[in-house]
Structure 1
Amino acid sequence: MSSNNSLLSIDSKIIKYGLERTFQLLEACDNPHLATECIQIVGTNGKGSISAMLSNVLIKNKYDVGLYTSPHLVDLNERIRFNDQKISNTSIDSFTKKFKSKITKIQPSFFEIMTVMALEYFKQKKANIAIMETGLGGRLDSVTAAKAKILIFTPIDIDHIGLLGNTIEEIAYEKSCAIQGSTKYIFSSNQKQVVKTILDRRAKKFKIDIKYLSEKSYFKLNSRHQISNARLAYQVLNFLREKNFFKLKTIKMHLEQTKWPGRIQYISKSPDVIFDVAHNQHSILAFIDYFKTKVSLYKNCKIIVGFESGKEINKIINQLFLLFDTVTITETKIRKSMKANDIKDICSRNDLIIESNPRKALNDNLKDLKPNDACVILGSHYFGPYINEKFKNCFDINKKRY
């Protein structure tokens, strides 16, 4: 079995809470997190986009940058990048073989292994900075073990119900605990007042003032939420420049030119095939806000949706479907996939198409598209492999985009 398959086969049915295993594995690897300065991104939506924006600006300014994100779309190598290049299978094999006995003894989760592997890889590559996207929460997430000096909070909302908590207060608390003794600077999107209160209380404990979004620059991007992401990234980068941590030029241009798959991504044009990983109320509402400005351009609009269980979509899904002539509900066929009929049960439309096979759902919707039609694929990251089958290498960030 390859190292990739071995990693993916690690049993994740039981979530392993706590940072103890991550610290043990870091120590077994000679504490690679101490070799590279880190920026940790925490929140519900926009973490991947802001991580990619920061990375792109720094790379374009000739810095060596490690980027750790999750989940992946096609292969797990996507999660660990150095200067935009995915980690090689050889490097993954090298890490898993070198530390096999320690991994066997410590029994870390898949995500804990990937986090430590990323930090070890960035150490080997002598990265100037590592951009680390938090996977889940903050208090018990393995990325928090990296002890980043800079934290960035993206919008915090309801998501991962049951894992992080059942209320916005519980979720915000879990994420706020990424703030710790090693934290020096904190930036944040504008948050709901209840979230802001919780973040401020935690930051005050460590005598840190949070720098909330105040940037007003205009960016030529697809949607308002992408512009908000760019503004937050710009504020952080401008701070780093003013503090002489990095010498940065043409920040705005490089922010606008950042490519990150699955975020209002036009897979093809005429007909337009659009993929977006919006999978909770906040992100779906952002997509609605964008697509309302485009729907009149098309003669026929189709949408294919599929989500993972625990996603808060009940209050928004019917509003989304109003924009489309045809709605197909499918599944992603992973263990946590939400059943198509469960999605159907919360919908008010009676003309929904239920096709549990995602490959067939894509084929059926794409085969009859006319040049002035649109097909949106929305929801889970785990649509990635099925989309990549139809549109080879469509998620390559170095490939020209529409």
Structure 2
Amino acid sequence: MNISDYSNKVNWLFNQFPVFQKVGAKAYKPTLDNTKSLISFFSIPIDEMSFVHVAGTNGKGTTCSIVASALTESGKKVGLFTSPHIKDFRERIRVNGKMISENEVVHYINMVQSHSFEFSPSFFEITWAMALAHFYKMDCDVVVVETGLGGRLDATNVIIPELSIITNIGLDHVAILGGTRKLIAGEKAGIIKKGVPVVIGEGDEEVAPVFKEVAEAIEAPIYFLENLQEVDAFQQNSNLAFKALDILLGDISGKETLYSNAISKLYENTGLFGRSQVYSESPLIILDAAHNPMGVEKLIRNIQLNYSYRNVRVLYGTSNDKDLDAILGLFPVEWKYFFTEFSNNRSTRIQDLKENSNVKQLNAKYFSNAKKAFTEAKSIESELDMIVVFGSFFLLEDII
């Protein structure tokens, strides 16, 4: 097999089936029947597999990766399913940090291509079934799974996990999940299973009752993380992951060392990318996939908390389904901004950014090309300047 075979197969997969990463809400399939049929097609005995299931508005990928890294450091063979990918489709499917091979991806796509289905599965459903087939083939001890969208009707919600985790609840994908945090919490709570412990990262007075009601009705032990003030988003996700691991691992010796190694070997064990990632030390460049109001607010607070002495230059581009008023209203006026479009057709256009009333008070430049915007942002004027890139996975894909 040559590289073009793999590329052609993945391109076919993207084009053959609807994919949220490319077309948005039209790709969402509010049913689990397709996923169950695909699992049967691939002959995957999911009842014989062990899972950790993670949902939430923000921090899912980071929390999944920390849990997976710690379990890897404990000596287990750990499957990790996350989305979206940034450069390579295979980033979504890993075992102990190693991506699924190109040959195996081609093999599974060939199976799909050669079969005539009586339904139209989505890109995500196909990818999830392929991942399960790979994890079963690799004889994983446990698989850590990030939901794609929501929880109750997400394609991943066919599993019975050892533990469920819900990171937090914010307003995102409201056209699909509901227009209030309470409604969205109800959808995310759909991953809570009978008798299975669930850990909640952020449970305030609006959403905590939703989780408690669901958990109590099906006798699922529920735990709420104590939220500490003045901790950044990564530390919050780490604290949540460690609380979940305390439940999973029980009383084992050397937990502090295990958790420390999980963080220090996070990239090696999971390939986690684009979450408060230091991309460059000189100049200091931080990449983050924050893309909704809650995520952006946490990122800005993190930068202000940890880099208060720095001159911040922001490279920002976002998808056209985001709440621009809510997001741009969070931007500190003392920062310098480089607004850009990115190559994906879901990009917000520069004209829409220029017309937003919140932008008019900002020191901003505008670009139609993300690489050019990144080059301009990196033309720093002082050693105290730093660059923060955020707004979309698509933006990160364009510049790295």
- TM-score normalised by length of structure 1: 0.87
- The aligned residue for residue 163 of structure 1 is 176
- The aligned residue for residue 313 of structure 2 is 302
Question: 1:214 Cα shift?
Answer: 4.0
Question: 1:313 Cα shift?
Answer: 4.5
The one of 50, 54, 66 aligned to 2:67? 54
- The CA RMSD measured in Å over matched residues stands at 2.4
- The aligned residue for residue 8 of structure 1 is 14
- Contact 1:262/1:275 (CA < 8 Å) preserved in 2? yes
1:308 and 1:276 map into 2 onto residues whose CA distance is 15
2:208 and 2:262 map into 1 onto residues whose CA distance is 26
2:134 and 2:348 map into 1 onto residues whose CA distance is 35
- CA distances 1:81-126 after superposition (whole Å, capped 9, x unpaired): 0110111111101111234344644321000011111111000000
- The runs of 5 or more residues in structure 2 that have no matched partner are none
The one of 249, 254, 269 aligned to 2:281? 269
- Contact 1:187/1:211 (CA < 8 Å) preserved in 2? yes
**Structure 2 residue 104 is matched with structure 1 residue 91:** yes
The one of 141, 157, 179 aligned to 1:128? 141
**Structure 2 residue 219 is matched with structure 1 residue 207:** yes
1:8 and 1:153 map into 2 onto residues whose CA distance is 29
Question: 1:215 Cα shift?
Answer: 8.6
Question: 1:256 Cα shift?
Answer: 3.1
1:46 and 1:34 map into 2 onto residues whose CA distance is 27
**Structure 2 residue 353 is matched with structure 1 residue 343:** yes
Q: How many positions carry a matched residue from both structures?
A: 380
- The aligned residue for residue 256 of structure 1 is 263
The one of 242, 254, 258 aligned to 1:234? 242
**Structure 2 residue 330 is matched with structure 1 residue 319:** yes
Question: 1:128 Cα shift?
Answer: 0.2
- Contact 2:152/2:191 (CA < 8 Å) preserved in 1? yes
Question: 1:191 Cα shift?
Answer: 1.5
2:363 and 2:146 map into 1 onto residues whose CA distance is 39
- Contact 2:73/2:262 (CA < 8 Å) preserved in 1? no
1:214 and 1:385 map into 2 onto residues whose CA distance is 35
Q: Which amino acid aligns with 1:375?
A: I
Q: Which amino acid aligns with 2:136?
A: K
- TM-score normalised by length of structure 2: 0.88
Q: Which amino acid aligns with 2:246?
A: N
**Structure 2 residue 157 is matched with structure 1 residue 151:** no
- Contact 2:283/2:378 (CA < 8 Å) preserved in 1? no
Question: 1:144 Cα shift?
Answer: 0.6
**Structure 2 residue 52 is matched with structure 1 residue 43:** no
- The aligned residue for residue 391 of structure 1 is none
Helix, strand or coil: the match of 1:315?
A: helix
2:116 and 2:155 map into 1 onto residues whose CA distance is 15
1:352 and 1:269 map into 2 onto residues whose CA distance is 24
- Contact 1:215/1:232 (CA < 8 Å) preserved in 2? no
- The aligned residue for residue 293 of structure 1 is 305
Q: Which amino acid aligns with 1:384?
A: L
